[in-house]
Amino acid sequence: MAKRVLLWVVFCLEPLTLQELNVGIALARLWKPDSPGRIDNEMVKFRLIRPTVFKAVLYRACGQLPRISSHNRVELVHRTLSQYLATKPEFFRIEHPDWLLPYHGRFYLPDQESHAALRRRGVGYLMMGPFANSGAEFVATDKGRTEWETKVQARINDYEFVRPGTNEDGQFWQSSGASKHESNSSQRGYVGVQYYAEGSGYHQRLPKHHHQQQQQQRIEQQQQQRIEQQRIEQQQQQQKGQSQGQQKERDCCCMVM
């Protein structure tokens, strides 16, 4: 269960609430790569962990790695933990052969496969019957906006996983190797819940690819900067060791003379 929890916490674009994470874990238990099949809300509810004990189960499985924010969202105890879990084991073996990391390989979360797993589980949720029809179309009037917001909010309240299930756009499908059929299914589900852009009126979709690109670029830049800094420090240590060795040799020669 620990790896299922970390998968959602590390790669979900926005922190999940406890209930959303509970649903995400239930979806992971339902999902079978060799036979995905269809799921329904009753199947998901049957596999939910009781909310009264879910937090205790979470800490028992993951220890102190996750933390619950003041807004009741599940986050990692430190942002560098996500970078550690998503770093290939080969990097540590090559760059830091003296580091003892016996459990890293067990909990390593490869980027592409992880995004693929989350997207497929999100699609499985959005393919449920209630999302097949988005209902009445949006009308750009005061009454239409009110009805639209009420409908969207009601669907979000009835189905806990709507927000994270629609939180990533189609661009991540390419990075996760998803098929065109799955991508189209996701878009149909997306239209079924119909988010509206915060502070900018109502829209059929809420595109976030620009934000995602910037976030991914920042993570990659930070990782490259850390790698470069580690190499510089390692070179400085080697040069310092060589200088100390040469100084010792000179001191020995002076003593002999």
* pTM (predicted TM-score): 0.57
The mean pLDDT of the chain is 71
Structural domain contains residue 153: no
Q: Residue 35 has what pLDDT?
A: 55
pLDDT, tens digit (0-9, with 9 covering 90-100), for 129-181:
766 666 667 677 777 778 777 777 777 677 767 766 666 544 443 344 444 43
Domain assignment present for residue 244? The answer is yes
Residue 190 lies in a domain: no
Predicted pLDDT of residue 154: 74
Give residue 79's region: left, alpha or beta (phi > 0; psi -120 to 50): alpha
Place of tokens 């998803």: 178
Range of the domain at 229: 208-257
Tokens 């995004």 belong to which residue? 115
d(CA 208, CA 52): 34
In this prediction, residues 113-121 reach a mean pLDDT of 82
Q: Of 7-21, 35-49, 84-98, which gets the smallest average pLDDT?
A: 35-49
Tell me what pLDDT residue 208 has. Answer: 41
Decide: helix, strand or coil at residue 68.
Answer: strand
Q: Is the pLDDT of residue 36 over 60?
A: no
Domain count, the chain: 1
- The pair of three-digit structure tokens given for residue 194, joined into one six-digit string: 């119909």
Residue 11 lies inside a defined structural domain of this protein: no
The answer to the question of residue 253 being in a domain is yes
CA atoms of 90 and 152, how far apart (whole Å) = 45
Element (H, E) at 76: strand 73-76
Is 216 among the domain residues? yes
Contact between residue 212 and residue 171 where contact means Cβ atoms under 8 Å apart:
yes
Distances (CA, A) of 140 to 146, 148, 204, 251: 10, 10, 12, 86
Q: Which amino acid is at 183?
A: S
Cα 70 to chain centroid, rounded: 20
Q: How far apart are CA 138 and CA 153, in angstroms?
A: 14
* Position 222 in a domain: yes
pLDDT tens sequence across 189-245: 333 333 333 333 333 333 344 445 556 666 777 777 778 888 888 888 888 777 776
Q: pLDDT per residue over 4-21, tens digit each?
A: 888 888 888 788 888 889
More confident residue, 201 or 41: 41
List the one residue out of 191, 179, 40, 44 whose CA is nearest residue 116: 179
Answer whether residue 52 is part of any domain: no
The residue among 164, 5, 21 whose CA lies nearest residue 82 is 5
